[in-house]
Chains A and B, each alone.
Chain A
């Protein structure tokens, strides 16, 4: 793991890192990756581990509204950092300069 790789990961994860953070994370994440790389040996050959559908599986419900209209609107609006009437204010995503 290089500093450049950590900087790239931070960009993907949308977290701004200080140079000091890049430094420590480079060392720490390298050590952790070295440790977890053992899974390659533990997993062994994929052929002898056929993926199985467990007893526990996802259940889908009908795609329908389950609550009264507007029952959460005020509470949710109150949590938003910036609102305009019943709308959330966000930065424009088109035609940005950067």
Chain B
């Protein structure tokens, strides 16, 4: 296992070549990807960039860009110019991106090498990476189990040792839950901190891109490069959008005990409680808090998200790009293309979204859900007057077995702790908090740290203290 910061030191010192690291990454992918299915596409042609990086380190040393020669994996709903980007959907099977996403352009400028596109739940809809049109990804820590989702391919790419870090997207937990299942650090920034230009839109008021890494330090480094105002995304934040959230040496942590009373695996809860005790022992304060509206966010999420999905995916019409199925007339082309191009979960969410937005139901569903979001934000603002960081487990269970969760509603409950964060737009960091044993295998589970809007730096500071320094 390499971290970015280790690789960087060795590259600068001349102890290791970016070419060696690139070749090792390709060798790992060749050996393991047939079984794990983390990568949908591998960009072997990028080796030229590793060769160039080696020369640049010799010439520039520590003055070389921060990510020069670092191989990264990228979720396949993020556009890299000239590369196949499918979002794991048949409707985009042969699609080639025509421009770089802002996050890609910024990482490229920092010298990163994109080594492959990773598997995911189709259009990021799911929590297990089983909804991919190109087969499920397996969890490298126990191949009978899912890696989580929807950024499961990105998590597996890091966990199987191919790359030190990967990019994911998070609409309702899609970076954090796979990080939890694969023993990684996952970060979902404040909404608007990172540009969504070049990300395939799922829920436009919820989506953010972020890193999956081995350390909080690496997550912070990637975030520092991809974040910032972007003229191509009018929802990106400026420096003064939110008041400054100070970094603290000792934090007051709030634990919503009632939220944890129901539907959570007892072993996960024990691990969480042990984590809380450790925080207390290290001199932090932990208090009980009450979040009566926030904890019911899941119901609002499964209205807002499908509503945005049904609008965003209307663009797939079989006309301008992607799959096109021949039909008798225009309507027939639309209906056949979308029938053959979309998988079951995508269809389910489009139909649900169409329903909640239709005349006569709009006020009862979408209108109410938006009202719930307003209440959730108000509730958080009140709690953050006395608490620095809110703590919950990232997911209610460890990684489950492939094929185990068949009922869609049961699968949606995986997101119970993660979706309220996206609905309110606050930043959150998932770090490994320990393991729970299943059939003789220790499976990692994560804890989620939530800060106020604009408090990304506070999360990195406390995360480095409680996670990186313990490693």
Chain A residues in the interface with B (C-beta under 8 A): 1, 5-6, 9-10, 12-17, 21, 25, 28-29, 31-33, 35-40, 42-44, 46, 49, 51-52, 54-56, 58-61, 72, 75-76, 78-82, 88, 90-93, 96-98
The distance from the CB of A36 to the nearest CB of chain B, in whole angstroms, is 5
- Which 9 A-B pairs have CB atoms at the shortest separation, nearest pair first? A81-B324, A79-B321, A16-B339, A16-B335, A91-B330, A14-B334, A75-B98, A43-B371, A43-B368
Rounded to whole angstroms, the CA-CA distance of A37 and B318 in the bound complex is 34
Rounded to whole angstroms, the CA-CA distance of A78 and B322 in the bound complex is 11
Q: Known contacts A58-B234, A59-B234; is A31 also within 8 Å of B299 by CB?
A: no
Partner among B242, B344, B409 whose Cβ is within 8 Å of the Cβ of A32: B409
- Counted as pairs of residues, one from A and one from B, with CB atoms less than 8 Å apart, the total is 158
The distance from the CB of B314 to the nearest CB of chain A, in whole angstroms, is 8
Partner among B314, B348, B369, B378 whose Cβ is within 8 Å of the Cβ of A39: B369
**A97 contacts across to B, CB distance below 8 A:** 329
Rounded to whole angstroms, the CA-CA distance of A90 and B374 in the bound complex is 43
What is the number of residues of chain B that contact chain A, defined by CB distance less than 8 Å? 66
The distance from the CB of B232 to the nearest CB of chain A, in whole angstroms, is 9
Q: Name the residue among A14, A31, A44, A51 with the largest chain B CB count within 10 angstroms.
A: A14
User: Chain A: which residue is nearest B296 at the CB level?
Assistant: A42
Q: Known contacts A29-B348, A29-B352, A49-B371; is A16 also within 8 Å of B234 by CB?
A: no
The distance from the CB of A24 to the nearest CB of chain B, in whole angstroms, is 8
**A40 contacts across to B, CB distance below 8 A:** 364, 368
Contact with A along B374-413 (1 / 0, CB 8 A): 1101100000000000000000000000000000110010
A sample of 4 more A-B contacts (CB under 8 A), given A12-B354, A36-B300, A61-B234, is A28-B408, A35-B409, A56-B191, A81-B318
Q: Does B201 contact A (CB under 8 A)?
A: no
- The B290-335 residues at the A interface (CB cut-off 8 A) are 293, 296, 299-300, 302-303, 310, 314, 317-324, 327-335
The distance from the CB of A64 to the nearest CB of chain B, in whole angstroms, is 12
**B425 contacts across to A, CB distance below 8 A:** 56
User: Chain A: which residue is nearest B334 at the CB level?
Assistant: A14
The distance from the CB of B108 to the nearest CB of chain A, in whole angstroms, is 18
Q: Name the residue among B319, B328, B371, B377 with the largest chain A CB count within 10 angstroms.
A: B371
Partner among A33, A35, A55, A91 whose Cβ is within 8 Å of the Cβ of B355: A33
Rounded to whole angstroms, the CA-CA distance of A2 and B328 in the bound complex is 28
**A9 contacts across to B, CB distance below 8 A:** 351, 354-355, 358
Chain B interface SS verdict (over half): helix
User: Chain A: which residue is nearest B355 at the CB level?
Assistant: A9
Q: Does B471 contact A (CB under 8 A)?
A: no
The distance from the CB of B333 to the nearest CB of chain A, in whole angstroms, is 6
Contact (Cβ within 8 A) A98 B331: yes
**A52 contacts across to B, CB distance below 8 A:** 374
Contact (Cβ within 8 A) B351 A29: yes
Partner among A36, A55, A81, A88 whose Cβ is within 8 Å of the Cβ of B303: A36
The distance from the CB of A61 to the nearest CB of chain B, in whole angstroms, is 7
A-B contact pairs, 6 of them (CB 8 A): A14-B331, A31-B408, A42-B299, A52-B374, A56-B237, A81-B319
User: Chain A: which residue is nearest B295 at the CB level?
Assistant: A42
Contact (Cβ within 8 A) A91 B329: yes
**B293 contacts across to A, CB distance below 8 A:** 42
Q: Does B43 contact A (CB under 8 A)?
A: no
Contact (Cβ within 8 A) B320 A79: yes
**A25 contacts across to B, CB distance below 8 A:** 347-348, 351
User: Chain B: which residue is nearest A82 at the CB level?
Assistant: B324
Rounded to whole angstroms, the CA-CA distance of A5 and B356 in the bound complex is 13
Q: Does B362 contact A (CB under 8 A)?
A: no
The distance from the CB of A80 to the nearest CB of chain B, in whole angstroms, is 6
Partner among B237, B332, B351, B356 whose Cβ is within 8 Å of the Cβ of A6: B351
The distance from the CB of B372 to the nearest CB of chain A, in whole angstroms, is 5
Q: Known contacts A15-B335, A49-B375, A81-B319; is A39 also within 8 Å of B231 by CB?
A: no
Q: Known contacts A32-B408, A49-B371; is A91 also within 8 Å of B348 by CB?
A: no
Rounded to whole angstroms, the CA-CA distance of A33 and B366 in the bound complex is 12
The distance from the CB of B298 to the nearest CB of chain A, in whole angstroms, is 8
Q: Does B192 contact A (CB under 8 A)?
A: yes
Q: Does B96 contact A (CB under 8 A)?
A: yes
Partner among B300, B350, B369, B374 whose Cβ is within 8 Å of the Cβ of A51: B374
The distance from the CB of B332 to the nearest CB of chain A, in whole angstroms, is 8
**A76 contacts across to B, CB distance below 8 A:** 98, 320-321
The distance from the CB of B373 to the nearest CB of chain A, in whole angstroms, is 10
Contact (Cβ within 8 A) A12 B96: no
Partner among A13, A31, A43 whose Cβ is within 8 Å of the Cβ of B350: A13
**A98 contacts across to B, CB distance below 8 A:** 328-329, 331-332
The distance from the CB of A62 to the nearest CB of chain B, in whole angstroms, is 11
